[in-house]
Homo-oligomer: A and B are copies of this chain.
């Protein structure tokens, strides 16, 4: 399993649109066979900051996600909404190691 956390900073005037289009991306992404979770979160302390918490079964699933129409649509739609570049960090899983404890 591979976990990717993406910190996203959204221009204030775009927050409503960002939430709408990112929820659509969430709905499509969790249907991908290689995706276990695709959590969308909003910071309490910084109203412009969001986190995507994406959990993939394999490296191949990470690549497959980037080739989907819904990812391409999301990426293009949010491009002009970014207050600054997204920050991505990839993690290996220490716990829990059972994949059935990850499926959303």
Contact = CB atoms under 8 A, between A and B. Distances in A.
Interface of A: 3, 5, 19, 22-23, 26-27, 30, 38-45, 49-51, 53, 89-96, 101-102, 104
A54 to B, nearest CB: 12
B96 A104 contact: yes
Q: Give the interface SS of chain A, mostly helix, strand, loop or mixed.
A: strand
Contacts of A96: 26, 30, 39, 104
Contacts of A3: 39, 41, 53
B92 A42 contact: yes
A92 to B, nearest CB: 5
Contacts of A53: 3, 53
